[in-house]
Amino acid sequence: INCDICHYAGVTATPWVSFQPDVGKIFFGESITLTCNVASPVQGTPTYSWYRDNKRISSGQRLFINAALGANSGNYQCQAGTSERSDAVKLKVTESYVTLQAPPTIYEGDSLILRCHSAVFGASSGAVFYKDGTTLKSSTSDSALSLGTAYRNASGTYRCSRNIFNDRPVIDEALISVKELFSKPQLQVSSNETREGANLTITCSTTLTPARGSTDLRFGFSKDGRSTQELLLSNKLHIRGAQVNQSGYYTCEVEAVASRIKKMSNTLYIQIQEVKQNEGRVLVDYTLQNLIRLIVSVCLSVLCLCFVINHLKKGKT
């Protein structure tokens, strides 16, 4: 993760697993590579460990599965040095005629493509895709479905079918759950001092998933429904010498630049307390009294010193 975003992203040392090709299901005999990724450079040369269904199976940053067998199916996790284990990612090795392939892990903003894959020579070229029982696409020549940018509402049960040897269609399904790219932002005021004239900093905090740590986020602030600034890299709004008319209902918005994923914080009411004139006069009077006391004290000290010096001189004569 780039340290430019460390000030607003909850960076964690927990690694995450990625697949290449980026699919969660493969056929018998196919190959796949699993990689253990870390958010930031690890000191020295870390030791990587791999687990399948909670049993340690291998070491190294990459795990190569060639000519996959049914025994390679399972939930995979990795560990980098003494870090916590990654979230489990499921790999399924199937001998079915047709499999619906999707990325094993999908985040908001990802480009989501489904593939109705078949390794059978006699499979039809096209496929039919469904989501939650509704037909999304029917093609006689294309076995892939592009869903564009993934949003949370893309989650659901997907199915696809292809004809094998011009016979009845073979169907497979996949449950897709789109994960959160970054958390809902939270507004915080840096200081409990909200009196008139005080300097305030309002912070818009969110946590970006380490698996998409290179995501470019922008922050915007609004007061009473009106924008106070354009979207910026900084997640802080500075108010210098706060005035009473800057009291109001504040919100912040976080946007992922490339995917345009946007999230809004809850509303935070900030009351700038007015400093009354008599309060200011009392403060000035009190300061003036202290100054007069200091001057009188210095004068008395000087007079005493002169008296002592004069007395000593008379004593010598």
The full 3-state SS of 161-228, as one line of letters, equals EEEECCCCEEEEEEEECEECCECCCEEEECCCCCECCCCEEEEEECCECHHHCCCCEEEEEEECCEEC
Task: Kindly state the tokens that stand for 310.
Answer: 């004069």
Helix/strand/coil for 302: helix
Average pLDDT, the chain: 87
What pLDDT is attached to residue 285? Answer: 53
**Prior bond of 21 cis (ω within 30°):** yes
- For 130-182, write each residue's pLDDT tens digit: 999 899 999 999 999 999 999 999 999 999 999 988 778 899 999 999 999 99
53 falls within a domain = yes
282 falls within a domain = no
Residue 313 host element (H or E): helix 277-316
Does one domain contain both 104 and 121? yes
Q: Which of 160, 179, 198 is the last residue of a domain?
A: 179
How many other CB atoms sit within 10 Å of the CB of residue 127?
Answer: 27
131 falls within a domain = yes
What pLDDT is attached to residue 277? Answer: 63
Does one domain contain both 199 and 173? no
Taking 50 as the pLDDT cut, the residues of the chain under it are 1-12, 279-284, 286
CA angle 66, 16, 209 (to 5 degrees): 145
| Residue numbers of the domain that contains 203 | 186-270
Does one domain contain both 14 and 87? yes
234 falls within a domain = yes
| Torsional sign, CA 106, 107, 111, 112 | positive
Q: In 3D, which of 171, 20, 22 has the Cα closest to residue 101?
A: 22
Does one domain contain both 201 and 219? yes
What pLDDT is attached to residue 217? Answer: 95
2 falls within a domain = no
Does one domain contain both 111 and 40? no
Q: Which of 37, 60, 93 is the last residue of a domain?
A: 93
Q: How many domains does the structure of the chain reveal?
A: 3
Q: Which of 48, 72, 93 is the last residue of a domain?
A: 93
What pLDDT is attached to residue 280? Answer: 46
| d(C-alpha 134, C-alpha 126), whole Å | 18
